[in-house]
Structure 1
Amino acid sequence: MSAKKAAAVGKATAGKDDETTTAGKDATGKAAAKKPAGAGVAVGKPESRTALVRRARRINRELAEIYPYAHPELDFENPFQLVIATVLSAQTTDLRVNQTTPALFAEYPTPEDLAAADPEKVEEILRPTGFFRAKTRSVIGLSKALVEEFGGEVPGRLEDLVKLPGVGRKTAFVVLGNAFGRPGITVDTHFQRLVRRWRWTDETEPDKIETAVGALFPKSEWTMLSHHVIFHGRRICHARKPACGACPVAPLCPAYGEGETDPEKAKKLLKYEKGGFPGQRLNPPQAYLDAGGRPAPPLGAG
């Protein structure tokens, strides 16, 4: 997909073999490519394994051009900060965690410091993240385990990470993929929602989703695949009202039409969640393109 095509995030551009039934206009007022009635996928008809793999990989390629800067949206400087931030992100937003962790890490910069911390003081710092008492127990317990079992270092193996308090497979893969460069699929709520909408799998359990989706892609792509899907879920393919009419992968989506299909109305549903502006609505060209017409990171992205 070219930079010009990436500019049309607000347009669901159909492939040459896709049937089209409705049309809209892009942000410049020009006629947009028509929207596919079935999003280019025959709903209700069986899809061969080969066709599924090709469609899944094409979706990932499209998202890679729209979100070339995709990355963990938690701020961290080392594996310890990442594992703590990921544990704290449960039941809250990454933005809230990023607003909270600077004070936490300034006071307790190492596992040894946090392991010896007064729980009441930690609770006060973590209060804005919600469930602060349980999270305090987890991060202090996690820090103690790092000190006592791993010499104060975050382990780089899945089987060790999941033994730490508050760390499940999702958190472990975030850490492995982004702190150690070891491929992993992060099955969070966004990932689960999108891969089921795209009919990559019918599984509902995270570990089974991880296995099913992982089989569609080379292992080397797993970490960035997770970022692409999660970015898309946060910005366009929302849980309650997906912005179908502003979705760049609509031609490949069996669930096209579950959300708003009118291009202009769909653009108003786009969300921006980085840099202190949660939920800010943006026009696609400003949201995704730099001055040269190339996809660009949102404000605040590293």
Structure 2
Amino acid sequence: MVASNFIKPSQNKATRIQMLHEMFEQIKGTTVLLEELQPDPKNYNFDSANIRKEHAFKTLIATMLSVRSKDETTLKVIENLWKHYDTPQKLAHAPLEHVEQLIHSSGTYRQKAKRIIEASRIIHEEYNDEVPPSQEKLMRIKGVGRKVANCVLVVSFNIPVIPVDTHVHRISNRTGWVTTNSPEKTELALEQAFPKSEWLVINYTLVSFGKTICKPIGPKCEMCVVNDRCMKRIVIAPRKQKKVSKK
């Protein structure tokens, strides 16, 4: 862990933990993609790994498909795909053209089709059809980055890591918990800002909060339960100006 990646946050640890708990209670029950796919979708404490790990392969493929795709679209795509190929072995041997057709609406479908087929082949041939509960092993699969791997570890195996997407990165900085300029640095900073016992709920809480209350533009601060302690570091990237060609 690189200390220089973390700038001292504005609140003390007790305040941050209390804020996280209050945010979690406010949005608990919000539907998010990976929770909908679980056999116990209303268990927001992630303490039923014995039954969730059986769905780890579906969780992995859904997370890979969710990149640059809306949750609603990804949910439809993964359910449609699963009607045809619901095991690593089946998907590993699926015709590329058919997989492309099934996931067409998820965006960048050609690249995604190749990657989920290859991921399925590796899991089938190298891991005996079992998704490995290891960040290192997951990230050896092409198309599986740190965020995807961490999502699978948290949701399917109850392993305390912190998946960082745009919501987690934005809200962590906006509240004043961290001061970072990249998702990678945000992950390291959050690991220092919160005890390990809190890591499991950070992604679910901030993703749900980012979708409903702490939006990128026009956050609903008047509805926010931590409004009085939030530093409100609201930074909105300016729109790119179109270049005007000189004649």
The secondary structure found in structure 2 opposite 1:107 is coil
The secondary structure found in structure 2 opposite 1:166 is coil
The secondary structure found in structure 2 opposite 1:196 is helix
Aligned to 2:186: 209
Aligned to 2:113: 136
Whole-Å Cα distance in 1 between the matches of residues 149 and 136 of structure 2?
9
Give the TM-score taking structure 2 as reference length.
Answer: 0.80
Change (3 A) 1:244 1:142: same
Q: Is 1:171 aligned to 2:132, yes or no?
A: no
Change (3 A) 1:206 1:133: same
Mapping of residues 27-46 of structure 1, within 5 Å = none
Q: Aligned pair count? A: 213
Q: Is 1:159 aligned to 2:136, yes or no?
A: yes
TM-superposition CA deviations, 1:80-112 (whole Å, max 9, x none): 000000000000111111111111011001000
Give the TM-score taking structure 1 as reference length.
Answer: 0.66
How much has 1:70 moved relative to structure 2? 5.7
Whole-Å Cα distance in 2 between the matches of residues 81 and 167 of structure 1?
14
Change (3 A) 1:67 1:209: same
Aligned to 2:217: 240
**In proportion to residue count, which structure has more helix?**
2
Question: What amino acid does structure 2 have at the position aligned with 1:58?
Answer: Q
Q: Which has the larger radius of gyration?
A: 1
Change (3 A) 1:127 1:55: same
Answer whether contact 1:203 1:209 (CA < 8 A) is retained. yes
Whole-Å Cα distance in 2 between the matches of residues 92 and 171 of structure 1?
14
The secondary structure found in structure 2 opposite 1:183 is coil
Answer whether contact 2:85 2:91 (CA < 8 A) is retained. yes
Aligned to 1:61: 21
> What is the root-mean-square deviation of aligned Cα atoms in Å?
2.1
For structure 1, the 5+ residue unaligned runs are: 1-46, 260-302
Change (3 A) 1:225 1:70: farther
TM-superposition CA deviations, 1:253-300 (whole Å, max 9, x none): 1117889xxxxxxxxxxxxxxxxxxxxxxxxxxxxxxxxxxxxxxxxx
The secondary structure found in structure 1 opposite 2:83 is helix
- Percent identical across equivalent pairs? 32
Question: What amino acid does structure 1 have at the position aligned with 2:16?
Answer: A
Whole-Å Cα distance in 2 between the matches of residues 228 and 179 of structure 1?
17
Mapping of residues 1-302 of structure 1, within 5 Å = 51-69=11-29, 72-74=32-34, 75-77=36-38, 78-255=55-232
Aligned to 1:278: none
Change (3 A) 1:71 1:180: farther
The secondary structure found in structure 2 opposite 1:155 is coil
Whole-Å Cα distance in 2 between the matches of residues 253 and 118 of structure 1?
51
How much has 1:69 moved relative to structure 2? 3.4
The secondary structure found in structure 1 opposite 2:33 is coil
Whole-Å Cα distance in 1 between the matches of residues 9 and 89 of structure 2?
50
For structure 2, the 5+ residue unaligned runs are: 1-6, 39-54, 237-247
